[in-house]
Amino acid sequence: MSENLITLSCPHCHRKNRMPAQRLTQDGKCGACKQPLFTGMPVPLSNSSFSAHAGADLPVVVDFWAPWCGPCRQFAPVFEAAARSMEPAVRLAKVNTEEEQELAAKFAIRSIPTLMIFRAGREIARVSGALAPEQLRQWVAQSLR
């Protein structure tokens, strides 16, 4: 019987890992750096690490934000709580648009916060504005159907 392998990137070293989908809930460790593959926290992404995560089989919900943005700061605890509750079904990540202006331009981020879901290198959903916890869960669930 063949196992359904998925790729996901390490939140620490950003190396790709392959893991049987059935074992995602077990405490997997990165084959390269030996750190946990799931931390329960959003992964900060840069221009150099973005494609490793967005290109993986595991869906990635990305929060494009800026430190000066009031709604972004208010939404941050909601997004962090979602990372704790939604992993390992999805990876949550953050992109600081002030530091990563190239990524913000590449994805035409016009307002913040903007949330995007990526799977296997493709954008599959986008929404602008801070969401309440239940709205965030519903949006992710509907987008991944």
Of 10, 13, 33, 69, the catalytic one is 69
Of 10, 13, 33, 72, the catalytic one is 72
Distances (CA, A) of 102 to 24, 121, 126: 32, 17, 18
Instruction: Report the distance separating Cα 35 and Cα 53, nearest Å.
Output: 16
Helical (H) or strand (E) element with 103: helix 101-106
72 is annotated as an active-site residue: yes
Catalytic amino acids? 69, 72
